[in-house]
Amino acid sequence: MKKLLTAAIAASLTSLFLAGCGGGSKTGSANLATENDSSQTEVAKQADGKQDTAMGDLVTLRFSWWGGDSRHKATLACIDAYMKENPNIKIEAEYGGFDGYQDKISAALAGGTEADIMQLDQPWMSTFNSQNPDFFADLTQFGDQLSLEGFSKDFLNDFCVYNGKTVCLPTGTNALDFLVNKKVLEEAGVEFGDMITWEDLVEQGKKVNQANPDNYMINMDNGITFYVTRIYLYQMTGKQVINEDYTLGITAEDLEKAMTYTKRLFDEKVIVPYEESMIFKGAPQDNPKWNNDQFGSWLNWSSTADQQSWGANAETLRYPTLEGCVNSGVLVRPSQLFAISNNSKHKEEAAKFLDYMLNQDAGILTLKDCRSIPACDYARSLLEEKGLIYEPASKAIAFAMENPGTPESNVTNSDEVYDALASIIEKLVYGQYPDAKAAADDAYQTMSNMLETIKADAQ
């Protein structure tokens, strides 16, 4: 027993030592020179990974992103290639899945420990930039290292310019995509014309379930609130759901119409019922029926278009629209964004790396479309030439660009308010309201109240 105890103490002290030191050193890096020369404070600062060393031009950049395996592999390969070309640069990769990423970034920004280069999601930008306009560096100041030529000015203005600064660059383009599984549709006798209305979606879509009670036309969790209800509202009214001044841009009557339609999808069994989709909330593609050809379609962003194994059966059709709609509602937005932290000690080097990834052949061809169709014209044509683009995704973008919907305003991305709306729609579908009007009135009231509170807080 004593021996065990002594051994245990020895082991723990060793690991404590290692663990404590581990905070200061780079993972498996060969920065022996710097570590030997560093003083205590240097070692502590190195924990942030941003301190320039006294020896030579050695630069360390921290680069954080989210994604799946394929994106990780491609990005890591890109990093390796860049480091080979630039031996004085070391890029530390920090990557993981999407879940929890936003929390991590927010906490990091709040604590000042964010990475030098960050991948961000467009809906977050309004929050971040309104709270602190100086989180991110203005990318126009790196004219020598990073070219912004290839990006559409309008696109940048709509999504990347905040408080007059260009704080981020789009890594790729995303558009709303109505992706169908041709096999399922054929077997159920579903036919769509070139222009598809929401009516068509119901009339044709319900055939899938009629053909086989286990199958459904649409696979979606309560993301339906966005991809159907909000887009429907948008097309119908042409107005933002939430205005810049924290008032609701739509009326209770508008809500009623949109919610009535949404409920129809459930009532007529066009969409998989909540009881079933609930289990796969947040990841509808985990439902085994998905790969089993039991779902007919997928309404989502084009960047998710390749997340199925339908092979040649996958096809993009035009996103459903409303007859006589005011706005096409087919949103186009950056798939992700890259930004440089304003706290970074090596902004120029970071900008250079961004240029490598977005503008230069080597970077473009390594990354391919792991972040969706590139937003930079040059990159896109390069990939198209080489046939490296997923066709249904690019088709969705082509459709959308014909008549893109107006981008959503900053304030509309208020999670809390939309969650409230989603909750009420859920209740409506479960039959907790006598009719859609009651639900719509409730939604209108609740959302207005919430907005008032948010507005008061933002003063």
Partner 1 sequence: MTIQRRKLKNKAINYIILMAVAVIMLYPLIWMVFASFKNNQEIFQAALIPSKWTLSGYINGWKGSGQYTYATFFKNTFLMVLPMVLFTVISASFVAFGFARFQFWGKKVFFAIMMACMMLPNAVMIIPRYIMFKDMGWLNSYLPFIIPCIFGGGSFFIFMFMQFFRGIPRELDESAYVDGCSAFMVYLRIVMPLAKPAVFSAMIFQFMWSWNDFFGPLLYINSVGKYPLALGLRMSMDVNMSVSWNNILAMAIVSVLPLIVLFFTAQKYFVEGVAATGIKG
Partner 2 sequence: METNIKRRKAIINWINKNKGLFFILPWIIGVAWFQFYPFAKSFIYSFTNYTLLNQPKFVGLTNYIRLFTQDMEFWPSLRVTGIYALVVVPFKLAFALLIALILNMKIKGIGLFRTLYYLPSILGGSVAIAVVWKILFMRDGAINGLLAYVGIGPIDWIGDPKTALLTICILSIWQFGSSMVLFLAALKQVPQSLYEAAIIDGAGKLQCFFKITLPIITSILFFNLIMQMINALQEFTSAFIITGGGPMKSTYVLGMKLYTDAFKYYKMGYASALSWIMFFIIICMTLLVFRSSSAWVYYEDGGDF
Q: Which of residues 83-142 bind partner 1 (CB under 8 A)?
A: 92-100, 103-104, 107, 110-113, 115
Give whichever of 19 and 362 is closer to partner 1, judged by the CB atom.
Answer: 19
Q: Counting contacts by CB under 8 A, is residue 127 touching partner 2?
A: yes
Strands 117-120, 59-66: parallel, antiparallel or unpaired by DSSP? parallel
Please say which residue, 106 or 409, places its beta carbon nearer to partner 1.
Answer: 106
> Residue 58 or residue 93: which is nearer to partner 1 going by CB?
93
Spatial separation of the C-alpha atoms in residues 449 and 274, rounded to whole Å: 27
Query: Residue 93 Cβ, how far from partner 1 at the closest point, in Å?
Result: 7
Look at residue 15 and give the partner it binds from partner 1, partner 2, none, a contact being a CB closer than 5 to 8 Å depending on partner kind. partner 1
Binders of partner 2 in range 401-430 (CB under 8 A): 415-416, 420, 423, 426-427, 430
324 is a site residue for partner 1 (CB under 8 A) = no
* Binding of residue 401 to partner 1 (CB under 8 A): no
Residue 448: which of partner 2, partner 1, none does it interact with, CB under 5 to 8 A by kind? none
Residue 423 CB neighbour total at 10 angstroms? 14
Contacted entry of partner 1, partner 2, none for residue 70, CB cut-off 5 to 8 Å set by kind: partner 1
| Minimum distance from residue 105 beta carbon to partner 2 (Å) | 11
Does position 131 interact with partner 2 (CB under 8 A)? The reply is: yes
- The entry of partner 2, partner 1, none near residue 18 (CB within 5 to 8 angstroms by kind) is partner 1
Q: Which of 273, 326, 377, 403 binds partner 2 (CB under 8 A)?
A: 273
Interface residues with partner 1 (CB under 8 A) are 8-9, 11-13, 15-16, 18-20, 22-24, 27-28, 44-45, 47-48, 62, 64, 67-73, 76, 92-100, 103-104, 107, 110-113, 115, 283, 285-286, 288, 290-291, 304, 307-309
